[in-house]
């Protein structure tokens, strides 16, 4: 089997230069949060490892939703420890609604209320180290798979979270291309777990028809969780229908040393003032094709109603689907209407959510419609009958 050139083993960074500064610095790692206990534990473990990297500078963490501590509690813990200058970084792979809107809104509100200086960094992004971490996960998956299928006969599928932000979605596609060229895979496709298109199962049923002997699926996620589990479930369903194709499931990124190195770099970027996101393709700052109406949209946090909600949250029937507010696209939930409750004087005043322009795409979710299934999207299946031509998903809902 042809293999790409070996990548040197990651070397842990030797601490950090933050302690050399004159201010009473502290670091806040800003996460999304999850109802999945493993995901929360993994995030806490990553924060602990970052504390070791930055010692003696204190490191705290907080979540937007569905877990504790919330961001305000993380900030308060740093302030109680004498921190006067917080370096906050989003634990986000790409810059979409959470990194651009929700986290800054919470941080700005807290800074205005307390006078605490908070400088905000940028997302992990498309970074050489992140690509290397993903490559390591692919190597691990290939190494535990018997057989000798050439990489040219292997199709790589990278699954991103999916967002209403086209810039974030396009970055997942760039990661796919970097990995395809780095390894020499026969083909590469980018799929998404929600919000945009193509979704995982329709996408897999499409690419399986390309004729590759093996399909390698990489969930490009930082941590475990409901969505990562569903990616595996979708993969298993398609694999069961196509025994002639070998399916391999790679692991998510997790706390790979290269991921930790990237976090350290993002914090040190804040100290250097190098915190610019890609504003030229930001739909809030410029007229991105198809999203022109969102230029200048007010930035609000859309997570106040689920801040800190853990086991007591009953917004979902069984477990969190992650669909109540996927990157700013509102999804009405049974028993919970987003605007039927007071905002309690928070920074979340009355506002309008721009609709995702492709909510009805046949290969994507119907996030602004009724009749969602357990994934928070309409139940779809793919017509793969002989002679059916373009394989358009068939939905059991009437729209």
Q: Output the six-digit token pair for 283.
A: 């739909």
pLDDT at res. 299: 55
In a domain, 213, yes or no: yes
Phi, psi of 158 (to 5 degrees): -105, 125
pTM of structure: 0.75
In a domain, 154, yes or no: yes
How many helices and strands (H and E) does the chain possess? 9, 10
Residue corresponding to tokens 């997942």? 172
* 290 in any annotated domain: no
Residues 6+ apart with CB under 8 A from 89: 27, 28, 29, 30, 120, 121, 122, 263, 266, 267, 270
pLDDT digits (tens, 9 = 90+) for 267-286: 999 999 988 765 544 544 45
Query: For 26-38, what is each residue's pLDDT tens digit?
Result: 999 999 999 899 9
Q: What is the pLDDT at residue 362?
A: 66
Q: Is residue 63 one of the residues assigned to a domain?
A: no
CA distance 365 to 334: 18
Looking at the structure of the chain, the number of domains it has is: 1
Q: How far is residue 372's CA from residue 395's CA, in Å, rounded to a whole number?
A: 11
153 close to 120: Cβ distance less than 8 angstroms: no
Q: Is residue 20 part of a domain?
A: no
Each residue's pLDDT tens digit, 67-114: 999 999 999 999 999 999 999 999 999 987 778 889 999 999 999 999
Tell me if 26 is assigned to some domain.
Answer: no
- Read off the CATH number of the domain in which 179 is found: 3.40.50.1400
Do the domain assignments include residue 59?
no
Is 356 a residue whose pLDDT tops 90? no
Domain that residue 178 falls in: 128-249
Q: 387 lies in a domain?
A: no
């Amino acid at each position: 089997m042809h293999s790409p050139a070996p990548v040197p083993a990651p070397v842990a960074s030797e601490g950090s230069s933050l302690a050399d500064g004159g201010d009473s610095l502290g670091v806040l790692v800003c996460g999304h949060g999850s109802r999945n206990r493993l995901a929360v534990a993994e995030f806490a473990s990553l924060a602990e490892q970052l504390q070791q990297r930055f010692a003696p500078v204190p490191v705290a963490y907080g979540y937007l939703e569905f877990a504790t501590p919330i961001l305000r509690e993380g900030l308060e813990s740093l302030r109680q420890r004498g921190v006067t200058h917080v370096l906050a970084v989003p634990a986000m792979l790409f810059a979409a609604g959470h990194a651009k809107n929700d986290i800054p809104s919470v941080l700005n509100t807290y800074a205005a209320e307390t006078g605490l200086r908070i400088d905000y960094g940028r997302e992990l992004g498309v970074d050489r180290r992140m690509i290397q971490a993903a490559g390591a996960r692919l190597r691990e998956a290939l190494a535990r798979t018997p057989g000798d299928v050439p990489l040219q006969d292997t199709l790589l599928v990278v699954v991103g979270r999916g967002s209403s932000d086209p810039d974030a979605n396009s970055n997942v596609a760039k990661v796919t291309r970097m990995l395809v060229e780095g390894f020499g895979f026969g083909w590469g496709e980018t799929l998404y777990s929600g919000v945009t298109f193509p979704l995982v199962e329709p996408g897999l049923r499409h690419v399986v028809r390309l004729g590759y002997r093996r399909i390698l699926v990489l969930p490009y996620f930082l941590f475990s969780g409901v969505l990562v589990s569903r990616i595996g479930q979708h993969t298993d369903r398609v694999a069961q229908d196509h025994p002639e194709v070998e399916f391999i499931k790679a692991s998510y990124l997790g706390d790979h040393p290269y991921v930790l190195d990237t976090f350290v770099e993002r914090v040190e970027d804040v100290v250097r003032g190098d915190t610019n996101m890609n504003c030229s393709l930001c739909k809030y700052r410029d007229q991105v094709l198809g999203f022109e109406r969102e230029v200048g949209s007010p930035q609000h946090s859309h997570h106040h109603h689920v801040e800190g909600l853990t086991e007591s949250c009953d917004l979902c029937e069984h477990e969190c689907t992650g669909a109540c507010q996927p990157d700013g696209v509102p999804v009405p939930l049974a028993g919970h209407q987003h605007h039927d409750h007071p905002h309690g004087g928070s920074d979340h005043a009355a506002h309008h959510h721009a609709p995702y322009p492709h909510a009805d795409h046949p290969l994507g979710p119907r996030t602004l419609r009724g009749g969602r299934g357990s994934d928070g999207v309409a139940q779809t299946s793919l017509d793969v009958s002989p002679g059916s031509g373009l394989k358009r998903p068939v939905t059991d809902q009437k729209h």
